[in-house]
Amino acid sequence: MRVAERMRTDVAVLRPEDSLARAEHLMRRHAVRALAVVRKSRLVGLLRHTDLATAFPSAATTLTRGEIGFRLDRLPVSRVLTREIIAVGPGTPLVEAARLMRARKLGALPVVRGEELLGLVTEADLLAALEELLGG
Partner 1 sequence: MMIKTLLRGPAVTVEARAPLEAARDLMSRRGVAHVPVVEGAALVGLLRECDALEAGPSSLPELERYDWREGLAGLRVDQVMDRQPLVLAPDTPVTAAARLARARGVDGFPVVEGGEVLGVVTTADLTAVLVGLLEHRQPPALGNVLAAVSLGASARDVVAEALGLASVGDARLTLLHVLPSLRRFEGVAGVARRIAVLRRSMARDALESMAADGGGVRVACAVAEGDVLTEVVRAAVDRDADLVVMGGTGGHRVRGLLSGSLAEAVARRAPCPVLAVPSAGERRRHARR
104 is a site residue for partner 1 (CB under 8 A): no
126 is a site residue for partner 1 (CB under 8 A): yes
- The residue among 13, 67, 91, 123 whose CA lies nearest residue 22 is 13
Residue nearer to partner 1 on the CB measure, 6 or 110: 6
Tell which positions 38-97 bind partner 1, by CB under 8 A.
49-50, 53-63, 71, 75, 79-80, 93-95
**Torsion over CA of 65, 18, 4 and 28, rounded to 10 degrees?**
10
Q: Is 93 helix (H, G, I), strand (E, B) or coil?
A: strand
Give me the residues that bind partner 1 (CB under 8 A), please.
Answer: 1, 31, 33, 49-50, 53-63, 71, 75, 79-80, 93-95, 98-99, 101-102, 105, 107, 123-124, 126-131, 133-136
